[in-house]
Amino acid sequence: MFLAAEAGYAHDGARLHAGALMAGIGYGHVFAHVAWQPRLLVGSASHDAAIGMRNGVAANFLAALVSIEGGHQFVSYDGAIHHSIQLTLSLNPGMVIWALVRAARDH
C-alpha cells in the first residue's frame, strides 16, 4: 500500500483550464499497481470560475512508465454542474531518463 501526491494542470480541450491537486492511495509494487486518484480542480471555464473533482482509478506499469486511468469528472461553472467521463493513457519518458542516468551513475 502507498500514498501518492500530484499537482498539475487540467484542460478539457474546449473550455476548462484548471489547476489539479491529487492525493491518491494505491496497492501493488513497482512493476504494476492500481490506485484511486481523486483530484480537486480549481480554475476557469467559459470566462467563469470553475471548481470540481475528478475521481479516477489508475493502473500503472513499469514504475509508472505506462499508465491508464479512467474516471468521472464533475465541474461547476456557468451556473450548472458539467459531467464527463475521462480516459487517459500516459507514457512517462521521465522514468526512462531517470533509469538511464541511474545506470550511468552506477557504472
Mean pLDDT, consecutive 10-residue segments, the chain of 107 residues? 91 88 93 95 94 96 90 94 93 85 90
Calpha distance 13→74 (Å, rounded): 15
In this structure, is the dihedral angle defined by the CA atoms of residues 24, 25, 27 and 28, taken in order, positive or negative?
positive
pTM above 0.85, yes or no: no
What pLDDT, on a 0 to 100 scale, did the predictor assign at position 74?
A: 95
What pLDDT, on a 0 to 100 scale, did the predictor assign at position 94?
A: 84
What pLDDT, on a 0 to 100 scale, did the predictor assign at position 24?
A: 94
What pLDDT, on a 0 to 100 scale, did the predictor assign at position 44?
A: 95
What pLDDT, on a 0 to 100 scale, did the predictor assign at position 38?
A: 97
